Structure 1
Amino acid sequence: MLRPVIALAAFGLETRRASVAELFTYPLIFAACLLSFAHGANDVANAVGPLAAIVTAVTTGGIAAKAEVPFWVMGVGAIGISLGLALFGPKLIRTVGAEITKLDRARAFCVALSAAITVIAASALGLPVSSTHIAVGAIFGVGFLREFRSNRTNNNLHSNDSPTTLSKKKQRKAKKRKLVRRQHLITIVSAWLITVPAAAALAMAFCLGLDYFMQHSG
C-alpha cells in the first residue's frame, strides 16, 4: 500500500544518501509525535505523580494506596512542560540534536522511533524512566554505529596501500576517526551519575528542614 507513495516521493531523486534521506521527512515527523506522546505518558506522569498524591491526601485526609489524578493536575503538568520547553528547551535541543553526532533525517528517524518504543514499553510496564536519557542513548547508538562503519571502511580502503601512498599520520587519522563527540559523552554520563544522588540529597535536606520547621513552629 505504501509502495506507490514511496515511489512517487522517490521519483527524480539521486541515488545518494542525502537524497534518500529526504524520504524520511514524514516518517520523522510521525516518530517525533510518537516520542512526544511517550514523553507525556511517562515523564509528565512522573512529574505530576507527587502532586496527585498530595491532592489525594488533602481531600481524603489520609494516604491512599492508589491516588486519583484529577484532570486539572494533568493540566498543570501540561502547562509546566510547555513552559519548560519554551524557556530551557532550545539549548537542550541543540545539544541533543546537533552537538553529539551528526544526524540526518534517516538517523533522526531511527533515534526518535527507538526512543519512543522504549519509553512506551516502559510506561506500559509501569516503569518511571527519562525519555531524554533514552533519546540520548539512542543518539549514542547511532553515532557509535556511524563511527564503527566509517573506521571499518577506512581500514578496508587503506589496508592494501603502501606506506608511500599514505603517510603514517593520515593512516592514524583514518583509523581513529571519531564521529561521537567525547566531550559531550563524558558530560552527559557524568550528569546521569550526579543528578540522581544530588536530587536525593536535596530532597533529604528539604524534608529535614520542613520537619524542623513544623516541630518548632508552635
Structure 2
Amino acid sequence: MTIAILFIMVCFLAYANGANDNFKGVATLFGSGTVNYRLALGWATITTLAGSICALFLAGTLIVKFSGKGLAPDTLIQSVPFMIAVAGGAGLTVILATRHGFPISTTHALLGAMVGSSLLATLGDMSLTPLLKNFVLPLLLSPVIALMLAALLYQTTRFVAQHFVTIKPLCLCVEETLPPVLSGTVAAMTADSSLSFTIDHQENCNQRSATLLFGFNTQRLVDSLHFCSAGAVCFARGLNDTPKIAALLLLAPGFSMQSTIGTIAVAMMLGGLLSAKRVAETMSHKITVINHYQGLSANLITAFLVIFASKLGMPVSTTHVSVGSLFGIGLTTGQSDKGVMASIALSWLLTLPCAALCAAVIYAISSHF
C-alpha cells in the first residue's frame, strides 16, 4: 500500500515539475514572437523527453545526491514514509506555484521537503554540512552567474550584429557578361560570354535582373540558432531534473532505473502539455521584453550552465538559471519588470519553508501507517 502511495506521489511531483518547468526553455521563443505557443510547447515536449531519456547515461551523480545520503541517517532515507513526504511536499509546493504562474525551482522544493521531513523525523539531528556544500551554494550562485554571463553574451552579440552583420536578405548573384561587338565593314568579332558572381542585397540583384542562385537571410539564421538553443535548454532541464525525482523511487523495492526514468519522463511530459500556460505567460512576457538576439543569448547561457552542472553532479535549478539569464538581459536593456522579478524572488524564498512544512505534515501522517 505504501509503495503504491509513493509511486503516486512521485508521479504527481513529476507532473508538477513538467507543468512548472517544461516551457521555461522555449519561453524566449514565444516571448520574442519567433514561434507561436503550440509550436513552442511541442518543441519543449520533444526535447525535454530526450533529455530525460539521456539521464540514464549522463546524470547518475544527481541520483545519488538526491537520494538524501549524507543529509539524513540511512535508515531514514531508505524508509518509504520519508520518500512519500519528500515527493508529496515538493509536489504540493510546485503545483501551488504553478497555479499562480510563479516559476519556482523543483530542486529548491525537493531540498525544502528533505529538510522538513528530516528535521521532524530526527528531532533536529541532521547534518548541515552537505546541505550547504552540495545544495545551497549551487542554488545561490547559479542565478547570479547566469545573470552576468547572459548580460555579457548579449552585449557581445549586439556589438557583432551592429558592426559585422546585416539583417537584410543577401544573395549570391550570377550575371552573364558579353564582350563588345564591332560592326561596320569589318566582320563582327565575338567571343565567348563569361559569368560573374557577386554577393549583394537581394533587391539590388533584382534590379540588375541577375539570376538568384542562393539567397539567405541572417535573421532566419538567428531564428534557427534561437530555436536550437531553446531545445538545448529543454534537453538540459530534462537531463538535470529527471534523476532528482527518480532518486525518490529507486530506493524503494521493485523499481528499476529504466522503468523509473520512463515513468517520470511521461509524467513530466503530460504536466507540460496540460498545465504550463500560466508559467509560460510569466516567463515569456512578464519578466522582460525580449527580441531574437536577446532570447538566443539567454538560452545559450542557460543550456551551457545546466548541462555543465549536470555533468558535474551539481544540483542547480534550471528555473534560477533561466530566470537569471532573462533578468540579466532585462537589466542590460532597461526593459525588465522589477515588480515581477520581486514577486518571483519572494516565491523562491517561500519555496523552501513551504515545502518543508508540507513534507513534515505528510511525514507525520504517513509514518503512522
TM-score by length of 2: 0.41
1:204 maps to what in 2? 360
2:336 maps to what in 1? 180
Q: Which has the higher helix share?
A: 1
Amino acid at match of 1:47: I
SS of the residue 2:276 aligns to: helix
The structure-2 alpha-carbon separation of the partners of 1:183 and 1:126, relative to structure 1 and needing over 3 Å to count, comes to same
1:45 maps to what in 2? 243
Q: Where in structure 2 are the equivalents of 1:65-214 lying within 5 Å?
A: 69-147=256-334, 179-211=335-367, 213-214=368-369
Q: Which moved more, 1:76-85 or 1:137-146?
A: 76-85
- Per the TM alignment, residue 185 of structure 1 is displaced from its structure 2 partner at its CA by 0.6
Unmatched tracts of structure 1, length 5 or more: 1-5, 60-67, 148-178
Q: Which has the higher strand share?
A: 2
Matched pairs, number: 162
1:162 maps to what in 2? none
Amino acid at match of 1:107: Q
The alignment's C-alpha RMSD in Å is 2.5
Amino acid at match of 1:207: Y
Larger Rg: 2
Relative contact order higher in (CA < 8 Å, ≥ 6 apart): 2
The structure-2 alpha-carbon separation of the partners of 1:99 and 1:8, relative to structure 1 and needing over 3 Å to count, comes to closer
- Per the TM alignment, residue 53 of structure 1 is displaced from its structure 2 partner at its CA by 2.2
The separation in 2 between residues aligned to 1:85 and 1:138, in whole angstroms, is: 21
- Per the TM alignment, residue 101 of structure 1 is displaced from its structure 2 partner at its CA by 0.6
Amino acid at match of 2:238: G
- Per the TM alignment, residue 22 of structure 1 is displaced from its structure 2 partner at its CA by 4.4
Which 4+ residue blocks in structure 1 deviate beyond 2 angstroms?
Answer: 6-10, 19-23
Does the 8 A contact of 1:119 with 1:129 survive in 2? yes
SS of the residue 2:234 aligns to: helix
- Per the TM alignment, residue 50 of structure 1 is displaced from its structure 2 partner at its CA by 0.7
Unmatched tracts of structure 2, length 5 or more: 1-164, 171-200, 204-216
Q: Which moved more, 1:30-39 or 1:42-51?
A: 42-51
SS of the residue 2:288 aligns to: coil
The separation in 1 between residues aligned to 2:358 and 2:241, in whole angstroms, is: 20
The separation in 2 between residues aligned to 1:93 and 1:13, in whole angstroms, is: 37
Amino acid at match of 1:184: V
| 1:139-169 superposed Cα distances (whole Å, 9 cap, x missing partner) | 000000111xxxxxxxxxxxxxxxxxxxxxx
TM-score by length of 1: 0.67
Amino acid at match of 2:226: L
Give the percent of matched residue pairs that are identical in Structure 1 and Structure 2: 27
| 1:57-90 superposed Cα distances (whole Å, 9 cap, x missing partner) | x14xxxxxxxx85211111111111111112212
Does the 8 A contact of 2:237 with 2:318 survive in 1? yes
Amino acid at match of 1:88: S
